[in-house]
Structure 1
Amino acid sequence: MPDIPTLPLPSVLPHSDAIKSSKQTKTDYESDCWEFQYEIHRYLGRITDDALRARYDNIVRNMHAIISDDRNVIPIHSFLSSWYWYRKEHQTRYEFALRNVPLHRPLPIVAQRDSSAAPARPRGPNAGDVLFRYGERKWLQNLMDFGRLRMKSAQEYALMEKDPARQDDERVKHSYSPGEYISLTMPDGLQVRPIGDLKYSTSGTDYFLYCVSMDWDSVLFDQFSGTDCCVVIKEPDEFARRLEHAAKNLLPGWYFHHCPIEYFDTYERRSKERIDNAMSKDFRFAYQKEYRFLFAGFGRPATGFIDLELGPLHDIAELHMRPEPPRVE
């Protein structure tokens, strides 16, 4: 088996009770164990080299955005945990070594982000107690002054080909199981193995959505096309109340919901992990730390977009311009 280096890991583990409640041991936080687990279940064995490189790039981007001291104490099975991303990075790089394919980039150096200039921060991972809407000032000034916003239908996001940070098929979520570990029984009783990975697709009702982030991150100003400012929503529950009220005449009887997105690995599903077409996303987007507001039609079509007006938001939100890059002396 190949021998690959391990990135410097956190010195702090989750509490022993948290590890035990997750049916794990301290060994599950060691890179040797990650390699052993991967050899037993080589879930990336059949994806292309290009897909493997793209996956690694996505993981590294997420590591820079997500890993922090307060996430080191979250058990490894959760995408909110620093350990989750260290394990994903190591196992993906291990697949490169198993293929004898050189890594296309240097190993990542994960450093603590400087958030001292942030106008607000959440009280913890996935807290949702403060929200951030990144965008262009010409739109976000209207959001502040009049509460004007646009909720797009799920199908609209699949059409945003020139905006990769926003483009995603929000109607159907896909995941895969390695074909080599699956046996299919044909009508005549014959057992066969698929020649590729088995693809699962999860779909559901149409819906309109409005997306925000749960943290201030200067990187997101570059990721979202045209972004030059951010509205910081200091009272998310009150914002949600006004949003629901503004839409009641346009969408009578539609179900309103808001909560953080759950990110999942399309190639390694957790046992009994539930995927929802509206509230789950491919983990390549995890750096966005998305929180969304949605109206679900349950049989009624959601197409195009709807424009809403909530009224002025100055009492519950603030507008902040994109931070200036640090000066180089």
Structure 2
Amino acid sequence: MTIREKLDVIRNELGGRPEFDPEMWKMLDLTTLKLRNVHGDKLVQRYRDIVTTLLWLRRPSMDNEPISQSHFSTVWWLRMLAQTEAELERRKITDIDVSEGASQERLIPDCEPEMETDFKTWARVSTMDRLLETLTAGEIWFSPAEGFDDPKLNAAQRDDELRRQRSTPGQTLKIVGSKGRSMIPIGDVTYTRQADAYWLSSWSTGPDLRLIDEFQVDACLVVWNPSEFDERINAAVERDLPGWFYASFPIQYVDEYDMVNTERMSVSMTKEFRFARQRELRLGLLASSGAVKPAGGFLVKAGSIEDIASVYDRRGDKVAGSGPDCIRRS
């Protein structure tokens, strides 16, 4: 089956839903032409990123989510795809080659919630030795956010975690000068927001064995009781890091060209949608004004989590811990 045929299957399966309305999406797109000023190469790459991410992520739990849940919803991705395809059609850009990612492997029911926003498990991929240390001692390394924009990191890891951009079509804006004269910007207007320093540990809102290869590691840790794990980390931070604040939250993947205002969301809580296949669950540390800030990272020790977590190899077979023997569905 070709990629186009796979996309048609998804559209047909969701076609009966009231929220699925490609004609309305294209009509709304015509009112702003929000992608009109995007460079051709960037527009093509945008299409590739949407298609590959949608095919990677799509599962029943995403189909069940309403479009208001943004990237957690299959329909949200289909709307973004439809509007991108409309701009490509206007430019007569066709036959875009798209490389398909690794096929999705069904996991046991405990790893596949009914709704995508029901985070039944947390997961993390890393090297086997590090995950075994996390399992037996609760060791969690929090890295400074500024360090992720490092050329030495692989493509799955590298990102500017302190800045986020949002672009508004120039034709939808009017700039008024000091003398009251107005003008329409040439091209899009891009806004950049800057975050204060913070420290993070990246997890996922559920296991996905494909991420082992994506991050070039060899193991996956699954936490079966996220609320208990969260409480243990918070207690360790309160005990060992006075003046520091801990929080856990799912990353919101956003479209730079979405007309919906995302400024109410912290920079630390968002990423570009091209990273959405990671389904990141972020553990964050923020210092109070009087706290001593280290040059590097923090090692937080929450104690053994062998009673609520397991480590699995790349095949999904358990190596250690208290969970199921295998997370792959037989």
TM-score class, shorter-chain normalisation, is: 0.7 to 0.9
> Aligned to 2:209, which of 211, 218, 223?
218
Say whether the 8 Å CA contact 1:93–1:103 is kept in structure 2: no
Gaps in structure 2 of 5+ consecutive residues: 317-330
Post-superposition Cα deviations, 1:210-245, rounded to whole Å, max 9, x if no partner, equal: 111112223212211x31110001111222222223
- % of aligned pairs identical? 25
After superposition, residues 140-155 of structure 1 pair within 5 angstroms as: 140-155=131-146
Aligned to 1:314: 306
Deviation at 1:279, TM superposition (A): 1.1
> Aligned to 2:35, which of 34, 44, 63?
44
Please state whether the residue corresponding to 1:46 is helix, strand or coil.
coil
Q: Identify if the C-alpha distance between structure 1 residues 231 and 119 changes in structure 2 by more than 3 Å, giving closer, same or farther.
A: farther
Say whether the 8 Å CA contact 2:136–2:303 is kept in structure 1: yes
Q: Identify if the C-alpha distance between structure 1 residues 280 and 116 changes in structure 2 by more than 3 Å, giving closer, same or farther.
A: closer
Deviation at 1:30, TM superposition (A): 2.2
Please state whether the residue corresponding to 1:176 is helix, strand or coil.
strand
Give the count of matched residue pairs.
308
Say whether the 8 Å CA contact 2:62–2:73 is kept in structure 1: yes
Please state whether the residue corresponding to 2:8 is helix, strand or coil.
coil
After superposition, residues 195-206 of structure 1 pair within 5 angstroms as: 195-206=186-197
Q: Identify if the C-alpha distance between structure 1 residues 271 and 142 changes in structure 2 by more than 3 Å, giving closer, same or farther.
A: closer
Say whether the 8 Å CA contact 1:159–1:167 is kept in structure 2: yes
Please state whether the residue corresponding to 1:162 is helix, strand or coil.
coil
> Aligned to 1:245, which of 224, 235, 250?
235
Post-superposition Cα deviations, 1:9-59, rounded to whole Å, max 9, x if no partner, equal: 1545798xxxxxxxxxx3x52222222121212111111122112211221
Please state whether the residue corresponding to 1:47 is helix, strand or coil.
coil
> Aligned to 1:227, which of 217, 223, 243?
217
Please state whether the residue corresponding to 1:189 is helix, strand or coil.
coil
Aligned to 2:265: 275
Please state if 1:104 is matched with 2:105. Answer: no
Counterparts of 1:123 and 1:200 in 2: how far apart (Å)? Answer: 37
Say whether the 8 Å CA contact 1:61–1:287 is kept in structure 2: no
Gaps in structure 1 of 5+ consecutive residues: 16-25, 325-329
TM-score, reference length from structure 1: 0.84
Please state whether the residue corresponding to 1:206 is helix, strand or coil.
coil
Cα RMSD for the two superposed structures? 2.8
Counterparts of 2:12 and 2:246 in 1: how far apart (Å)? Answer: 40
Q: After the TM superposition, list the runs of 4 or more consecutive aligned residues in structure 1 that deviate by more than 4 angstroms.
A: 12-15, 106-109, 298-303
> Aligned to 1:323, which of 298, 315, 321?
315
Q: Identify if the C-alpha distance between structure 1 residues 136 and 118 changes in structure 2 by more than 3 Å, giving closer, same or farther.
A: farther
Aligned to 2:322: none
**Worse-superposed segment, 283-292 or 236-245:** 236-245
